[in-house]
Chain A
Amino acid sequence: MGLQLRLRQGIAVPLVLLFCLVTFTFLFSMVGTRSRMRKQTLSTHTQKKAYYLAQGGIQQALLKLRLLHRKAYDAGAMARGVCPFLNPYENNVVSNANASRVASKALDIFISDLKSTSISPNLALRLTGGEYPIPTSGTTQWKYEVTEFNVETYYMQSDGSVKEVAHIKAMGYAFDPRDLVPERRELVEKSVELTRKIK
């Protein structure tokens, strides 16, 4: 009995201290989890911002396709090594593109101003003022650019029209000063069909 009593003496304070230690460890782990969750939420938001900027790039590319559809078609044909002046009614073999004659120069020129940081001041993303201006840093700004415009298939249909299936890739970049990563990127892809038909 005497020994049991002695063992139980002084147990309450250590027990409470142990409880506090366990509780605080738990709380610190919760702080860590919460801070990680905040960062994750922030990066998701920044990623979304990059996504919508990339969508802006796709919109600009589609508008340019609408304005210069013939130029887009020709550039696509040359990028496949096919003569853009090919008359589909007289030459049924359009798939024998000459790989050594692939000329991507026209496509490169075509997409050269499809970006928000264009040399043209009117095409730079302009919403820089207002209550919530676009945040900038020394190295990164919010921007987008069309990085690729590839013609993936090129074929003739039974009605004599020639079709190109072009693949547009736009990259959006977003930066948030609170984010640890210098920039977040999001790639948006869209396929469009370009048809040439001689009436």
Chain B
Amino acid sequence: MNQFRVGMSFIEVMIACLILALAIIPVADFLGFVTRGTKDDKSETEAMQFACDLMDFILMKMPYDPNALNGSGTTLIRGTTDIRYTIEATPIPWNPVKSYDIKYHDPCPGGAEQHDLTGDIFPIDERLETLDKEMVDQAGIANASANDFDLCDFKLVVEWKPTGVADEKEFKRRPIVLYSRKARL
């Protein structure tokens, strides 16, 4: 009886090995998935950093020019990431802008600081063309046009994939899309 029980341990070890093998397959698979995920996260962070740098450059340093903004860059490598980007800029035609006027009245006792101005302020719409001309005249710019002061929406799309991944479809998997608006200042 004792001998039979001792003999069972080999079968037991075999069963244990089988269970271990079955358990190891998803574990190894999962570890691979986690490693890929970590690599993806690193690449995504690098792509995001690139996108932010480009947005800051466009907003803070680049002169206003929607035509120059529109376009796409060739694939470039940043760290361990392949990046390609496109910028789409759309100029915004301005409608009259909201402004106000102060109603004139005869001098009041105690001066303006003793008078409640709220009732004398009323909203108006100011047309860009008039403002534009006034501003252009002040600045002494020749050939004034309605486009001397303007605004554009722009969209930056950064597509990325970890360097070494051959599948081009990876670029389209999780693009980074940022929007903003730039003014001619």
A residues apposed to B, CB below 8 Å = 2, 5-6, 8-10, 12-13, 15-17, 19-20, 23-24, 27, 30, 34, 37-38, 41, 44-45, 48-49, 52-53, 55-57, 59-60, 62-64, 66-68, 71, 74-75, 78, 81-86, 97-98, 101, 103, 105-106, 109-110, 112-113, 116, 120, 122-123, 125-127, 130-132, 134, 142, 144
B45 adjacent to A41 (CB under 8 Å): yes
B30 to chain A, nearest CB (A): 6
A-B pairs with lowest CB-CB distance, top 5: A56-B181, A83-B112, A63-B183, A12-B16, A113-B98
> Interface extent on B, as a size class?
35 or more
By a CB distance below 8 angstroms, the chain A residues around B94 are 122-123
Of all chain A residues, the one with the shortest Cβ separation from B52 is A48
Q: Quick check: B19 and A16 within 8 Å, CB to CB? A: yes
What's the nearest-Cβ distance from chain A to residue B125, in Å? 9
Residue B118 interfacial (CB < 8 Å)? yes
Residues of B within 8 A of A122 (CB): 92-95
Q: A16-B20, A66-B149, A132-B157 are in contact. Are A82 and B113 (CB under 8 A)?
A: yes
B24 to chain A, nearest CB (A): 9
B5 interface residue (CB < 8 Å to A): yes
Contact between chains at A63 and B157 (CB < 8 Å): no
Q: Report how far A109 CA is from B88 CA in the complex, Å.
A: 32
Can you list 18 A-B contacts with CB-CB less than 8 angstroms, sorted by A residue number?
A5-B6, A9-B8, A12-B16, A16-B16, A16-B20, A19-B20, A19-B23, A45-B176, A52-B178, A52-B179, A55-B59, A78-B121, A82-B113, A85-B112, A101-B117, A110-B99, A132-B175, A142-B179
Question: Quick check: A127 and B102 within 8 Å, CB to CB?
Answer: no
The answer to whether the Cβ of B13 comes within 8 Å of any Cβ in the partner chain is yes
Chain A CB within 10 Å, residue with most, of B41, B55, B97, B114: B97
Are B157 and A131 closer than 8 Å at their CB atoms? yes
Contacts of B48 in A (CB 8 A): 44-45, 48
Q: A residues within 8 A CB of B37? A: 34
Residues from chain A with a CB closer than 8 A to the CB of B5 are 6, 9
Interface assignment of B168: CB less than 8 Å from any CB of chain A: no
Docked-complex contact A15 and B98, CB < 8 angstroms:
no
Contact flag A17-B19 (CB < 8 Å), given A12-B9, A60-B181, A105-B121: yes
Instruction: Select B90's contact among A83, A126, A144, beta carbons within 8 Å.
Output: A126
A109 touches B100 (CB 8 A): yes
Near A by CB (< 8 A), chain B positions 40-72 give 41, 44-45, 48, 51-52, 55, 59
Q: A68 to nearest B CB, angstroms?
A: 6
Residues 81 to 98 of chain B near chain A (Cβ within 8 Å): 88, 90, 92-95, 97-98
A84 → chain B, closest Cβ, in Å?
Answer: 7
Whole-angstrom CA separation of A57 from B180 in the bound complex: 8
Nearest CB on B from A140, distance (A)? 14
Chain B residues, CB < 8 A from A49: 177-179
- Report the minimum CB–CB distance from B139 to chain A (whole Å): 10
Q: How far is the CA of A23 from the CA of B23 in the complex (A)?
A: 9
Contacts of A83 in B (CB 8 A): 111-113
Whether B126 contacts A132 by the Cβ 8 Å rule is no
Contacts of A17 in B (CB 8 A): 19
A30 & B34 in contact (Cβ 8 Å cutoff): yes
